[in-house]
Chain A
C-alpha cells in the first residue's frame, strides 16, 4: 500500500530541506488515523501528547540537538506500558488501568525523540493470530476490510500498513509480529530472545515473548533495533549484551541459505505462496547466494510444544489479573472466592480462558511430566537441531505463513486451525533465534505474502543486510 513516507531517512531529508516540519508530519498521521477509524487499529490516540512533543522536538531539530529518532512517529501495542497512559492488553479486565511506569523500550524511544502517537489494538493478552480476540473489536486488514490483518499485533501492523504512523512496536510469542507483517505487506521482526528488555511488556509467555518493530523499510528496522536492544537492569532474564549496532552497507557477502522442505512443500501451503517462495529462492540465487533444501521433520511437534509451554507460563502470568490491587473487579463479588471467579470470568475473553485452562492442565501434578517436562525436552531438541543447521548455513528460509490473510470469522471457531497459523513462525520462538518477515509481492487477489528468514542468535544484522539487498 502506498505510504507518504517509508523511512525516517526520507522524513529527515524533507525536514532538513525545509519542506516539512514535525507538527505537520504529526498532523498528517493524525488525519490518516481519523480517516481509517473503521480499521479499528488504534485503541487510543495520544493526540495532545504527540502535538506537544512535535513542537518540542522541532525546536531541538532546529538547534541540532535532536535525538536519532527525531521525525519517527511510532505506535505501541496495547500490551506495552507507558507511564501515565492507559494500557489494557485489549482486555476488559484491564480497561482503564494507568501504568505508573514506562516500558524500557518506550523510554529508549522517547530518549531519542521518537513521538508515540497512540496505542494499538491487539488480540487479548497477545493470544491470537487474527486480532479477532480483542475485547474492543477486531482490527480490519486495510487492503481488504473483510479480512484479518493477522495477530496478535494486528493493530500495530495495520497502523503501519495504512500509513497511520511510520513504524510501530508489537510483541511476538509464536509469530505475532511476523504473521501480521506478512498479511499486511510490511517488515516485522522477532528479535533474538533476550535482546530486548521485557520490562513493561505485559507478559504472556515469559520465555517466548519479545517486543519487536514493524516498519516499511529495512533502514528503519535497523535504526529501531539499535535503539531498543541492549541490557536493562530491570530485566534479569534477558541477555547481558550491549545494544546492537547494525550498520547496513551496499555490500552483502554471499550467504549460504537453507530452505525447509517440510514448509515449502507443506500440504497446507497455498499455491500462490509456494510460487512466490520459489521466485524468492531464484531471486536470492541471482544475488549470488547459495540455496539448499533441508529437512526439518519437526513441524508436527512444534505447534503442540509451543502450545503446552506458552499456555503453562500464561496460566501463571495471568493469575495477577484478579481485581486485587488493580483492574476491573466484578460487581458480583460477594466474598474473596467469588471476587476471583467473577472478575476473571467476566473480564477475560474465551480464547484467554481456554489457554489458561490448558496451561493449568499441563502444570497439574498428575500431568506435569507427561506434557510440560516432555515439551521442555522437545523444545531442547528443536533448539539444538535448529542451531545445528547454522553450523553449515547462515540463514534458514521459509514462507512466513501457509495462507494469505483469511476472512474474518473464518477460523475463529476453530482453535486448532488458528493455532496452525503459527506453523512456520513458532520455530524461531522455540529456539530463541531472530526471524524477519520480508514483504514479497501478493497473490492474484492482491493479498500480501511474506518470506521469513531466520538467523543465528544476535545476528539480526545478517537478516537485515539481506533484506536491504532485496529491497
Chain B
C-alpha cells in the first residue's frame, strides 16, 4: 500500500474592522437590523461610483508587514464579473493583477514541536457580498445587503501545509495575528474570519501534484482540522482502492464529520477580470510605508520570545499568555512592578483569568491596576501573606476596593501572617503541652505527626502564623 503525503493550501478571508465599508460610507458593523447599513452605492443604483476607504489600505499593509510580505507600491483594482443575488453590481471590486502584498511567511509549530515556515503567496483587498437566506420563506430568498461592500482581505498561502494539525496551527496563528493587529476580531462563527482549504495528496517521494479538492464552509478552527483530516482519509482510501476522484468544491458536514460534494460549478465561470475604471491607482510611497512600519505593534512571536527568553517563563506560560494581546499587556504591566515574573504569570493565568471567566469580563474592563498584583506578590514573597489567603480572601476584596492598598486590606481581613518566633514559640509550647502522648510518639519515630502539630498551631494562631516558620519552630521544639 502506498504512503501518501498531503499538500494543503489555505485561503483565508479576513473581514476588516473598519467603521465604514470598503468603497462607500455605509456603516460596517456586525449584527445590525437587515438592510439598515446600505446606500445607493452598495445597492448598485445607477449613477453611483466607488471610493476607496483609506483605513482598508492601511490595515491590509499592516497585515502584510506582520507577515514579512513585499508591499506592492503601484496598486490597481480589478472587476470580477459574475451574477449572484448577494452581489448587487454584478461584479466585485478586487485586486487581481496587483495584490497589495506578495511573498512573506508565518511560523508555526509542526507536530514535533519544531518551528516551520509557511509561505504566503499573496494578500489582496476586495469587498464582501450580502447575505442570502434561503430557508426563511417557501418561495423567496431573503437578501440582506448590510454586509455587501464590507472590506475583506484575502490571504492565500503556498501549499506548504502538510497535515490537518498544521492547518489548524496556521489558522490559529492568523487569528491571533489579526486580533493583535486590531484589524479583525477573528470570529469564525460570526464569519469575520473564513477559511477555504485546497487539499491534495501524492505518493511520498513524488513531485507531481495530485488532484486538488477545495473545501468550503468550515465555520470553526476545529472544523478546519476535522474537515481536512476527513478529506485526506477520503482521498487516500479512494486512491488505495484504485479509484479516482474529481477536482471539485466540497462542503463539510460537521455532524457527520465528512466532506460532501457541492453543486459542481458549470464549465468554469469566466470572471472576465479587467481593470476597474472607476478607481485610480493607489501608490504606496516610501514615507507612508515607513510610517506604517513604525506603527506596527509588537507581534505575538516577538512577545512570546520576550516572555520566554527575557523573562524566563516556561513555554506553556509564554504561549498561553501571548494568545491574547491585552492579557499580555496586563501581564507586562505587572512585571514593571515586580521581578517575580513566574509569580506574575501564575497570577495572570490563574486567579485573574478565572475571575474574568466567571464575570464574563474582558481584561480591558478589569479595573484593578497591575501594580496591585505586584503588591500581592511582594507580600507573599515576604511570607506576610499565604498564597491561599491572597487569592481567596484578599483578591476578591481588592477587586471591590481597587484603590485600597493591599496591606491595608490584608490587615483589615486579619490575614497578615506573622513570623515572630517568640510569639510562635509560645503557641507551639501550648500546643505541645496539650498532646504529650503524641509528642512521645513523634519522638519515637512517628514523624508523620508533624503535620498534626503544625495544623494545631496554625489553628491556634487563627492562620496568622507563617506556615514555614511554624514548621521550622515545631521541628526545633520537638528535637
Contact = CB atoms under 8 A, between A and B. Distances in A.
Contacts of B81: 315-316, 319, 363
A373 to B, nearest CB: 9
A313 B277 CA distance: 8
A103 B45 CA distance: 12
Contacts of B145: 325
Interface string A314-346: 011001111011100000000010001000000
Given A312-B274, A316-B274, A372-B274, A236 B49 contact: yes
Contacts of B49: 198-199, 234-237
B434 interface: no
Given A316-B79, A364-B270, 14 more contacts: A79-B46, A87-B46, A87-B47, A198-B47, A201-B47, A235-B49, A236-B50, A237-B277, A237-B280, A312-B274, A313-B277, A320-B44, A336-B84, A336-B141
A275 B145 CA distance: 59
A94 B45 CA distance: 11
Nearest to B50: A236
10 contacts: A202-B47, A235-B49, A236-B50, A237-B280, A316-B79, A316-B272, A320-B46, A320-B90, A325-B88, A363-B274
Interface of A: 79-81, 87, 89, 94, 97, 99-101, 103, 198-203, 206-207, 233-237, 312-313, 315-316, 319-322, 324-326, 336, 340, 360, 363-365, 368, 372
B278 A326 contact: no
Interface string B350-389: 0000000000000000000000000000000000000000
B21 to A, nearest CB: 14
A27 B40 CA distance: 35
B51 A236 contact: yes
Given A237-B278, A364-B272, A372-B274, A99 B85 contact: no
A466 to B, nearest CB: 31
B223 to A, nearest CB: 28
Nearest to B276: A206
Contacts, number: 99
B279 A237 contact: yes
Contacts of B279: 236-237
B342 interface: no
B92 to A, nearest CB: 11
A322 B274 contact: no
Contact of A319 (B46, B48, B91, B143): B91
Interface string B56-93: 00000000000000000000000101011100111100
Contacts of A364: 270, 272
A260 B278 CA distance: 32
A364 B79 CA distance: 13
A316 B91 contact: yes
Pick from B47, B51, B141, B145 the residue with the most CB of A within 10 Å: B47
Given A363-B272, A364-B272, A365-B270, A100 B45 contact: yes
A320 B48 CA distance: 11
Contacts of B272: 315-316, 360, 363-365, 368
B83 A94 contact: no
Contacts of A321: 46
A201 B81 CA distance: 21
B52 A236 contact: yes
Contacts of B274: 312-313, 316, 363, 368, 372
Nearest to B272: A363
Contacts of A206: 277-278
Contacts of A363: 81, 272, 274
Pick from B44, B141, B145, B278 the residue with the most CB of A within 10 Å: B278
A202 B79 CA distance: 18
List 4 tightest A-B contacts by C-beta distance, closest first: A319-B90, A363-B272, A206-B277, A320-B44
B431 interface: no
Contacts of B52: 236
B90 A99 contact: no
Nearest to B40: A100
A203 B141 contact: no
Contacts of A236: 49-52, 278-280
B200 to A, nearest CB: 24
Nearest to A88: B46
Interface string B84-106: 11001111000000000000000
Interface of B: 40, 43-52, 79, 81, 83-85, 88-91, 141, 143, 145, 270, 272, 274, 277-280
Contacts of B89: 319-320
B81 to A, nearest CB: 6
Contacts of A234: 49, 51
A322 B45 CA distance: 11
Contacts of B280: 236-237
B47 A203 contact: yes
Contacts of A368: 272, 274
Contacts of B277: 206-207, 237, 313
A233 B50 CA distance: 11
Contacts of A100: 40, 45
B90 A89 contact: no
B85 A336 contact: yes
B88 A97 contact: no
A321 B85 CA distance: 12
A364 B49 CA distance: 24
A316 B90 contact: yes
Contacts of B141: 336
Given A360-B272, A363-B272, A364-B272, A326 B50 contact: no
Nearest to B48: A199
B46 A81 contact: yes
A103 B90 contact: no
Contacts of B46: 79, 81, 87, 89, 94, 97, 99, 202-203, 320-321
A365 B272 CA distance: 6
A233 to B, nearest CB: 8
A367 to B, nearest CB: 10
B104 to A, nearest CB: 28
B173 to A, nearest CB: 35
Contacts of B91: 316, 319
A198 B52 CA distance: 16
Contacts of A324: 44, 85, 88, 143
A102 to B, nearest CB: 9
A325 B44 contact: yes
Contacts of A325: 43-45, 88, 145
A405 B88 CA distance: 40
A235 to B, nearest CB: 5
Contacts of A313: 274, 277
B138 to A, nearest CB: 13
A201 B45 CA distance: 11
Contacts of B270: 364-365
A162 B396 CA distance: 88
Pick from B44, B49, B279, B280 the residue with the most CB of A within 10 Å: B49
A437 B178 CA distance: 57
A203 B84 CA distance: 21
Contact of A320 (B85, B88, B143): B88
Nearest to A320: B44
